[in-house]
Amino acid sequence: MAAVPATLLTAIITIVAIVLYIIMGIRVGRMRGKHNVTAPATTGAPEFERAYRVQMNTLEQMPIFLPALWLATIYFKRFGIAPPVLGAIWVIGRVLYMEGYMSDPGKRGFGFTISTLSQLLLLILAAVGVVMAWMTI
């Protein structure tokens, strides 16, 4: 069996990250209904507020994560599938963040740390890859 190209794996991780974000949005909508928090309110029952913060924090991270993931995939080919693997770790970190935050806000740190570190590593790989590409021009 041939190796799966890193770009295909990155595309899959991108789709999974988007689906996860949609699930978070659905959860916020359900919490609005459950706790009668009508739009545009963003405060109410603690369970709603936690779901809302999970979604918003993930939204805040995605403009960093997605470009870093794709730039690392495109420009840092030296490590093959390392960028999509780091992308998968980011998604896992976001799931752990969501589950931890929903059960007890004090338990969000582990998932946050995993996703933040993987995002930082992706950014470093992207920057190194771009510099290496620039130097070959």
CATH of the domain at 113: 1.20.120.550
Q: How many residues does the chain have?
A: 137
What is the C-alpha to C-alpha distance for residues 15 and 12, in angstroms, rounded to an integer? Answer: 5
Residue 34 lies in a domain: no
Amino acid identity, position 6: A
Residue ranges making up the domain that contains 74: 59-137
Cα-only R_g, the chain: 17
Residue 5 lies in a domain: no
Considering the entire predicted model, what is its pTM? Answer: 0.94
What phi and psi values does residue 2 have, to the nearest 5 degrees?
Answer: -75, 150
Residue 95 CB burial class (10 angstroms; 0-12, 13-18, ≥19): middle
Number of domains in the chain: 1
How confident is the model at residue 52, as a pLDDT? Answer: 98
Mean pLDDT of 105-122: 98
Calculate the dihedral angle through the C-alpha atoms of 61, 66, 69, 70, rounding to the nearest 10 degrees: -160
Q: Find the distance separating the first CA and the last CA of the chain, reported in whole Å.
A: 35
Cβ proximity of 114 and 89 under 8 Å? yes
Q: How many CB atoms lie within 10 A of CB 97?
A: 24
Structure tokens belonging to residue 54: 């999970």
How confident is the model at residue 78, as a pLDDT? Answer: 75
Mean pLDDT of 97-118: 98
pLDDT higher than threshold 70 for residue 129: yes
Mean pLDDT of 103-131: 97
pLDDT higher than threshold 90 for residue 101: yes
| Tens-digit pLDDT profile for residues 45-96 | 999 999 999 999 999 999 999 999 999 999 987 778 999 999 999 999 999 9
Residue 23 lies in a domain: no
Mean pLDDT of the chain: 95
Residue 33 lies in a domain: no
Tell me the pLDDT band of 1, cut-offs 50, 70 and 90: very low
Mean pLDDT of 36-43: 96
Residue 47 lies in a domain: no
What is the C-alpha to C-alpha distance for residues 102 and 98, in angstroms, rounded to an integer? Answer: 6
